[in-house]
Structure 1
Amino acid sequence: MRWPRQLMSLLVVLALLAGPPAVLLFLIGPPVSGWPRTEQVRAWVQQPLTEETLTAALTIGAWLLWLLLAYTVTVRAVTRLQATAVWLRQVPLPTPWQATASGMAGAAVFGVTTHPVTTAAPQPPPSSAAGTPEQPADATPTPDDRAVSDDGVLLPGGWLPRDTAESVAAAAALLWLCRRRDYRPRPLIPNAPEDPDTTWLRPAAAAVQAALADAPAPPTAPTLTDSFSTLIGVLPTGGLGLTGPGTLPIGRGLLLTALLAGHRHPTPTLIVTRAALTDLLGTDAEPLGERLPQLTVAEDPGDAIRIVEGAGPQRMVILAGDNCDANDVTHLAGVTAANGGRLVVLGGRPTGQTWHAAPTGHLHDPTHPDNPAPRLCVLDQVTAVDLLTVIAHPEPATPSPAPPRTPLPPAVTPGPRLPRQSTRGTPHQPPAASHHRLHLRVLGEPTLLIDGEPLTIRRSAAVQVLAFLAAHPTGADTRELTAAIWPGLPRSSLTGRLYTTLSDLRGAIRSASGLHVIDHTDDRYRLNPAHVDVDLWHLHTAVHQAAMTVTDTMTAWRAVRDAYPADLAAGRTWPWLDPIREVTRRRVIDACAALADSENDPRRALVLLQGGVDIDPYNADLHDRLATTLTALGDHEAADQLRNRYLRTLAQAGIDDETRDHRATSGTITSRTSPSHP
């Protein structure tokens, strides 16, 4: 505890400031009792070294030393106050409660240090999927922290209602399931090119996933149709114009909410004029609009009227406010409402209702200022494009730049240790002094075993650090670790959190085993292969050897299959896991398919293919091979049951006819359309 030391320091400073003046005044009196008289000056010149003059000189010297001490303390206090003031200006203060807490912290100049303290992020006002009535609140959210509650998720790029965020996370999970379904096993070869469909998701999607990963589940699961219906219920039947600083952010939120609903349910779809789409998405409007099947782009309000009149119910129309004819807008509002949809005009309506859009997503009716203000989803342009990309068709050409995925690393062998960061107060213990065996298991539930016994790790972020470093044997720097574990949050607020997590983790391992498992050199962290054994590294070694082997390949393939007991960090939903987990899984089903192809006995091949299906129950190619093998063995009933069970598995995961149409044809499971995910 620091406060006893800080209290003692404060008491010593006060004693030094108050003690010397009190002693001098009590024993000698004031340093100056008046100006010297002429006689005193003459006497001092004739005999300067007298008892009286020496006492006066010593007294003046003592007072000068005290003044120097007082000056030093004053300068130090002013410097500390200025540093505290600078920090307080940098601390996000989105709510009065946080402002009060930070002010109290800054007032304690001598007793409290000036390091930032992580506080609970502000909770957004209550809302539903698309917007619910609540008391007006125009305070702009601070995008420096990610807040999660039952009502919404606050990101640096905006705010999403809770069920909209859940829908984004579900769409991201569905994207990876589609990638698993469409992968075709290939031979294990050295230096194989990276799979283009194992790139990371866009940063905003990863941030939403991370925000929801450890958040408590809402009381009821969100449904996309209910979300869209709630949105329709918030907006006036006769249409609505929007003005104010939140117009375009709310427009992007409407775009995402409507398209998420149409992603798996084709009825609620969206019509947007080309001008409005450009205002909302900028230069990404044209290429992205062509890849969103739930979106219909109209050239002008007249074109939108023709589309709505010939379409089904539940159509929302968004128009740009500039150059909108009043008659066309009125006609379009009536037609849209008749079909169960709503009209939204960005920039205000020439006729009808126009509401004020706040940056927080709140809508205010100026004609009824006392009415509750619903809150809608708000997004900036970059975040909107990131999230819409998750539900878009694949790009026809080269994919847009995304964070590079880490390929499956080569084999890892113990080597010379990197220089270890010095640790104060901890004596150096050479490796030979410890006889503990450390084994990190990340295939399945991440667990660190010391002599076969699991080590209790208090922080969930520390478990992520171990798994991330296991998946990156060459190590990772501070930026890579913070971006992976806390995506969507500014690095400046996370460096201290990472250091605390690493210090706690390294201390727990060192206390239990006496070993320094995590090395730190040149701001790069890595697991020391001389001190810890990692099951994933054994799999890397088996894959590397199987790719290099030209003789006895079946033994090498079996080694790959046997080294894979479960998925990487099974059951965890960390966003950085998906690309690495998918690449790892693919190399294993590559080995299973190669083993089955090399078998002359169809029954043994059947067992090997079934093992591959157990590893990835969503892969269409493995099910095709398995159904073909069953048919070749004459077990047509089992082949039909396999197909039906597989189609039910896809349907339960949300991969139904709206996503990709699978049908049984000539003993195989084929698709009629291309995958609907990037």
Structure 2
Amino acid sequence: MRWPRQLMSLLVVLALLAGPPMVLLLLIGPPIRGWPSTEQVRAWVQQPLTEQTLTAALTIGAWLLWLLLAYTVAVRALTRLRTTVGWLRRLPLPTPLQATASGMVGAAVFGVATNTVTIAPPQPSPPLAAGMPEDSDGVSPIHKDTAASDGGTHLAGGWLPDEVAGQVAAAAALVWLRRRRDYQPRPPDLHRREELDAVGLPPTVAAVQAALADAPASSVASEPSGSFAALVGVFPVSGLGISGPGTLSIGRGLLITALLAGHHLRNPTLVTTWATLTSLLGGDAEAFDRRLPQLNAVETIHDATRLVESAPSPRIVLLLEEECDGYDVRHLADMAATAGGRVVVLGGWPAGPTWQAAPTGHVHDPLRPEEHGPRLCVLDQVAATDLLAVIVHPDPAPPAPATPGPPPLPHVVPPKTRLPRQATRAEPRSRPDASTRQLRLRVLGEPTLLVDGEPLTIRRSAALQILVFLATNHPTGANTSQLADAIWPGVPRRSLTGRLYTTLSELRTVIRDASGMHVIEHTDDRYRLNPAHVDVDLWQLQAAIHHAASAVTNTTAAWQAVVDACPADLAAGRTWPWLDPIRETTRRHVIDACAALADAEPDPQRGLAVLQAGLRIDPYNADLHARARSALTARGDHEAATELHDRYLRLLLHAGLDGDAPDRRSNNTSTATGARRR
């Protein structure tokens, strides 16, 4: 129990406070018995070190030590008392109605304490359809612990408000749309697929995308407490300083928040100095500055003032404390406030209030401790660099030619004849008619597992992801680490082992009970789909792509087979972050086949039909649209060509891309210029 120790501590403190004064008063007496006379002062000057003077000095020293002890105890007691009073003020008291209800409940409990209460068992929840989240409340277990507090998105490198996380996901989607728009078809070839603009986005971005995919729509569309406009409204007009252990993390959060707010604006939304930018981003600061039109990095605070004065617009000005003096920063704050912006000094405000920042992003004003300040976005350097990757404009330098490497689409070989696997005691034997079952996994379009032509309901959305992931990684398969990183990015693997095994076990059981076959194999610590038991439409497309790339004769038929084998986009409508690079690579193979087939087609009408089929696969590709417009113009159908172009521009504007769709086939120079401008 704690109270004996607390009582003993109190007794010891009282003994230390009362004991020394009593001993000193009884043995020596008071430290001073009146003021010394002139004769005593003259005698002390002539002979300072006497027995009496030494005794008086030691007595005074002992009293000073006791006073220091008493002061320390008093300060601790007042601090504890102040904390207790503050806690009592925040303690919610029951209303009269709540007090009455509590009394009635207590009376009922004591009145029926001797009776036996029978509680009906909970009813099992109905199974979910394929693709629905497995959590009944619709909230991912990753974020359940924070849904009731500050919300937002928790990452390995920080925390994002809902509004900022939504802007990150939107910017990531624009990255892939921009890549789709700018891709130029090439001759079909399997050994040139290491394109830099088809690689996946950084892990922090994938974690944000996965978190928003699992979160309910209401939480994402909640009040934008961490948005740029909200921050401008919260920060003092006279400027603000931020100090404490979370200063640099909050500075990176403000950097990302301001840049995301100006992602579609022409004027910069963030002004900072090179010293501040380097302290936040490290050695990558210069590379990011060249590719961020929303950012203006200057040398000194005077340059920042001149920039704000010459081009006023709503913005945040980030500075370091050592770069500021009272007059300069006050003048800059006045100019920024006039333009609707705010000045934030990382380290301390030399001319106004300074808020204390915790590593979690919570800030508060020390002058008003009873008021809780907002929670700001916090990021470490790695997370901030990852998020900047979806904001920066593409590098204007032309991409280097890719070196030959292994094709990303594995060659699909016909399955060998296999002996039936003997069932063990731990698993039921296959049904007698299992050999007659037909399993087909459809991943081009809506992912669906068909058993004898009938869709099989898969309860967990993670299980459906695993099926598609294994289909796209055939025949190599994937181990547990690769599956966990793909399905639940940004979550520590140690907390996912049990969940992954549970999902895999349930998936294998559902398929085995419905078909009597073991579709998912586990050998050499890798999970694979058994091609002898399941047929996947993606594998047929991959086989057609390999054949078209290696065909020497009858290439037209081979390219047509690729187009015919792709009825829809890979896992259409799904927003799984791991899927984007595989989907883009597959889509580009089909676009290459469409372009090659259209170029080789002597009939203009059939060539136009092929291009239209390619536009159904990727309606954002500018090169396919330019080819289709050229085909319509060559036929003399100028009205249809104009209508096609206008519809394409509206599609780009609706997606958030600029409406300037360059015609790459007619003017390569203007295309390069436009890419640099973007």
Q: Same fold (TM over 0.5)?
A: yes
Are the structure 2 counterparts of residues 516 and 563 from structure 1 closer, same or farther at C-alpha, using a change threshold of 3 Å? same
Closer, same or farther: CA 265–419 of 1 in aligned 2, 3 Å: farther
Is residue 475 from structure 1 mapped to residue 477 from structure 2 by the alignment?
Answer: yes
Aligned-pair distance for 1:207?
0.3
Q: CA deviation at 1:604?
A: 1.4
**AA of the residue aligned to 2:522:** H
Moved more, 258-267 or 410-419: 410-419
Counterpart of 2:467 in structure 1 is: 466
Partner of 1:288: 288
* Closer/same/farther in 2, CA of residues 495 and 318 from structure 1, 3 Å limit: same
2:215 alignment partner in structure 1: 215
Between the aligned partners of 1:226 and 1:616, the Cα distance in structure 2 is: 35
| Inter-partner Cα distance in structure 1 for 2:386 and 2:193 | 26
* 2:203 aligned partner, one-letter code: P
For 1:208, what is the secondary structure of its paired residue? helix
1:407 equivalent in structure 2: 408
1:646 pairs with 645, 648, 665, which one?
648
Cα 1:654–1:671 shift into 2, 3 Å: farther
Note the alpha carbon deviations across 1:324-357, whole angstroms, 9 max, x for none.
2222111111111111110000000122110101
Q: Distance in 2 between matches of 1:277 and 1:405?
A: 40
Which residue of the other structure, out of 117, 128, 145, is the alignment partner of 1:122? 145
Counterpart of 1:512 in structure 2: which amino acid?
A: A
Closer, same or farther in 2 for the Cα pair 1:422/1:328, shift >3 Å? farther
8 Å Cα contact 2:246/2:360 also seen in 1: yes
CA deviations over 1:608-645 (Å, ceiling 9, x no partner): 11111111110000000011111111111111111111
In structure 2, C-alpha distance between the alignment counterparts of 1:207 and 1:545, rounded to whole Å: 37
Aligned to 1:388: 388
Deviation at 1:387, TM superposition (A): 0.4
Task: Tell me which moved more, 238-247 or 209-218.
Answer: 209-218
TM-score, length-scaled by structure 1: 0.74
Matches within 5 A, 1:663-678: 671=671, 673-675=673-675
3-state SS in 1 of match to 2:238: coil
2:508 touches 2:520 (CA, 8 Å); kept in 1?
A: yes
Residue 269 and residue 350 in structure 1: after superposition, are their counterparts in 2 closer, same or farther (change >3 A)?
Answer: same
TM-score, normalized by length of structure 2? 0.74
Contact persistence 2:623–2:665 (CA under 8 A): no
Q: 2:515 aligns with which of 513, 516, 519?
A: 513
Kept in 2, the 8 Å contact 1:225–1:265? The answer is no
Which secondary structure state, in structure 1, belongs to the residue aligned with residue 318 of structure 2? strand
The amino acid that maps onto 1:122 is D
Retained in 1: the 8 A contact 2:663–2:671? Answer: no
Residue of structure 2 equivalent to 1:253: 253
Show CA shifts across 1:201-235 (max 9, x none): 00000000001112211378589999321121111
Alignment correspondent of 1:144:
none
- Paired amino acid for 2:144: A
The one-letter code matched in structure 2 to 1:571 is G
- Aligned mates of 1:209, 1:274 — CA distance in 2: 31
Residue 606 of structure 2 corresponds to residue 583 of structure 1: no
Contact 1:273 1:318 in 2 (8 A): yes
Give the equivalent residue in structure 2 for 1:357: 357
Q: 1:405 to 1:571 in 2, by over 3 A?
A: farther
Letter matched to residue 408 of structure 2 = P
Task: Letter of the 1:596 partner, please give it.
Answer: A
Contact 1:392 1:676 in 2 (8 A): no
Partner amino acid, structure 1, of 2:461: S
Residues 544 and 455 (structure 1), Cα distance of their counterparts in 2 relative to 1, 3 Å cut: same
Give the match's secondary structure for 1:439: strand
Change (3 A) 1:431 1:592: farther
SS state of the match for residue 620, structure 2?
Answer: coil
2-structure distance, mates of 1:420, 1:325: 79
**2:198 alignment counterpart:** 198
Residues in 2 aligned to 1:120 and 1:374: alpha-carbon distance in whole angstroms: 20
Structure-2 change in CA distance of 1:459 and 1:421 (3 Å): farther
User: Match of 2:455, as an amino acid?
Assistant: P
Tell me which moved more, 301-310 or 574-583: 301-310
Secondary structure, counterpart of 2:651 in structure 1: helix
Match of 2:16 in 1: none
CA distance in 2: counterparts of 1:163 and 1:322, whole angstroms: 32
Q: Cα deviations across residues 345-372 of structure 1 (Å, max 9, x unaligned)?
A: 0000122110101122111011111223
Q: Distance in 2 between matches of 1:420 and 1:243?
A: 66
Per-residue CA deviations over 1:538-558 (Å, capped at 9, x if unaligned) read: 000000011111111111111
User: 2:664 matched to 1:662?
Assistant: no
Deviations 1:365-421 (A, max 9, x none): 11111223111111111111100111112346789xxxx998222224213669989
Residue 346 to residue 261, structure 1, CA distance change in 2 (3 Å): same
Give CA-to-partner distance per residue, 1:543-593, whole Å, 9 cap, x none. Answer: 001111111111111111111111111111000010000111111111111
Aligned pairs for 1:191-340 within 5 A? 191-218=191-218, 221=221, 227-267=227-267, 269-340=269-340
Counterpart Cα distance in 2 of 1:265 and 1:507: 52
Partner residue of 1:496?
Answer: 498
Contact 1:414 1:530 in 2 (8 A): yes
Distance in 1 of aligned mates of 2:433 and 2:550: 34
Indicate the structure (1 or 2) with the bigger Cα radius of gyration: 2
Structure 1 residues 668 and 676: alpha-carbon distance in aligned structure 2, compared to 1, 3 A threshold: closer
Q: Residues 9-39 of structure 1, C-alpha deviation per residue, up to 9 Å, x if partnerless?
A: xxxxxxxxxxxxxxxxxxxxxxxxxxxxxxx
Contact 2:162 2:219 in 1 (8 A): no
Name the residue aligned to 2:447.
446
Q: Residue 218 of structure 2 aligns to a residue in which SS?
A: coil
Asked whether the 8 Å contact 2:626–2:665 carries over to 1, the reply is: no
| TM superposition shift of 1:462 | 0.4
Q: Give the residue type in structure 2 aligned to 1:159.
A: W
Equivalent position amino acid for 1:626 in 2? A
- Relative to structure 1, is the Cα distance of residues 498 and 126 closer, same or farther in structure 2, using a 3 angstrom cutoff? closer
Deviation of residue 423 (structure 1)? 6.1
Question: By how many angstroms is 1:305 displaced?
Answer: 0.9
Residues 377 and 367 (structure 1), Cα distance of their counterparts in 2 relative to 1, 3 Å cut: same
Alpha-carbon separation, structure 2, partners of 1:179 and 1:625: 18
Report the CA distance shift for 1:220/1:122 in structure 2 as closer, same or farther (over 3 A).
closer
Cα offset, 1:152, TM superposition: 1.2
Q: Deviations 1:496-519 (Å, cap 9, x if unpaired)?
A: 111111000001111111111111
How well do the aligned residues superpose, as a CA RMSD in angstroms? 2.9
Alignment: residue pair count: 531
> What is the rounded CA distance, in whole Å, between the counterparts of 1:371 and 1:396 in structure 2?
48
Once residues 662 and 225 of structure 2 are traced to their aligned partners in structure 1, the CA distance between those partners, rounded to angstroms, is 27
> Whole-Å Cα distance in 2 between the matches of residues 440 and 665 of structure 1?
38
Aligned residue in 1 for 2:633: 631
